[in-house]
Amino acid sequence: MFYCASAMLLQLGARPKSHAGTISEFGRRCVMAGIASIEERDELILAERRRNAADYGTPQAEIDAHIAERLLETAGRWVERTPRQITEYARQSEPGGGKERSNGPDVER
* Cβ neighbourhood burial of 26 (10 Å; 0-12, 13-18, 19+): buried
Domain architecture of the chain: domains with CATH: 2-103 (1.20.120.330)
pLDDT tens readout for residues 23-73: 999 999 999 888 899 999 999 999 998 888 888 876 666 778 888 899 999
Query: Which of 55, 59, 29 is closest to 41 using CA atoms?
Result: 29
Ranking 8-12, 59-63, 91-95, 104-108 by mean pLDDT, the lowest is 104-108
